[in-house]
Amino acid sequence: MKKFMFTQLVTALLMLMPVNSYAHYLWITVDNYTPEPGEEITISLSWGHDFPKNSAAGMEKLDKLFIIDPDGEIIPLTITAKGNEKVAAPVKIRLNKKGTYTAVLIRKAGFSSKTTQGYFSKSKKELDGVISSSWSEASAKAVITVGSAGGGALQKNTGQRYRLISLKDPNMLKKGDNLPVKIILDNEPYRTWVYATYAGFSPDKDTFAYTTRVNKEDMEAKIKILEKGIWLVKASDKIPYPNPEEADNYSFTSTLTFEVK
């Protein structure tokens, strides 16, 4: 009886702890987050555990890349392979209109299963020896300010079920400020943990400088900007999948990068 009660207590405590997902995640980096109108910038598409190391994302995992301009218009961008490699090449572009832009990268949604033989992009019912299985959806954004901040790019609904939204133009922040963000799941605010770090904080994988939780009052998470530099904010969640014969859960991840000067 005591052993049973102890197990229940441990389980309850674990449920209250912030749980970060250690799966690979997408992010976008830009060589210049604050260009002048018409100045060429380079957008890199990355995938891994160790921001800001540029581990180029595999072509087979990527769905689409686009930019939202200050008027809310969508500018599609083409993802190409890097030479003869199977990874995405950096994308070069010139943005002529003043204001705030959002670059958006979407990963192909699909099943991802861990088995006794390794990882496969298949559902549980297609495999043997399944340890865990998810339907995975992921996206990444970067905020770029051309000339001066302004416009509606940050508020534009990019269409994903799970979205991380910045409530302030992060490129206007200074060290010591707070960045408020919301997490949206199926068009409703969602309460979860949010992680943030900046380039140079740690060389170790899956190590973040700041952890906070969406509060109950206004359903926002406020991230303290501890240092200048390139920042990444990340949210990820798992919820039960409706057909347990196919997968155990939905796995959602969304990231945002920006620069604080």
Helices (H) and strands (E) in the chain — how many of each? 1, 17
pLDDT of residue 23: 66
- CB 254 within 8 Å of CB 162: yes
pLDDT of residue 2: 42
pLDDT of 204-225, one tens digit each? 988 999 999 999 999 999 999 9
- Work out the percent of the chain whose per-residue pLDDT is above 70: 91
- CB 153 within 8 Å of CB 100: yes
Looking at every residue in the chain, the average pLDDT score rounds to: 90
Residue 7 has pLDDT above 90, yes or no: no
What CA–CA distance (Å, rounded) separates 114 from 217?
38
Q: How far is CA 180 from CA 46, 96, 164, 173, 193, in A?
A: 24, 28, 11, 11, 13
Residue 6 has pLDDT above 60, yes or no: no
pLDDT of residue 74: 96
Residue type, 41: I
Cβ neighbour number for residue 202 with a 10 Å cutoff: 13
CA Rg value for the chain: 19
- CB 258 within 8 Å of CB 33: yes
What CA–CA distance (Å, rounded) separates 235 from 34?
25
What CA–CA distance (Å, rounded) separates 111 from 137?
9
- CB 143 within 8 Å of CB 166: yes
Residue type, 46: S
What CA–CA distance (Å, rounded) separates 65 from 75?
9
Q: What is the mean pLDDT of residues 98-104?
A: 97
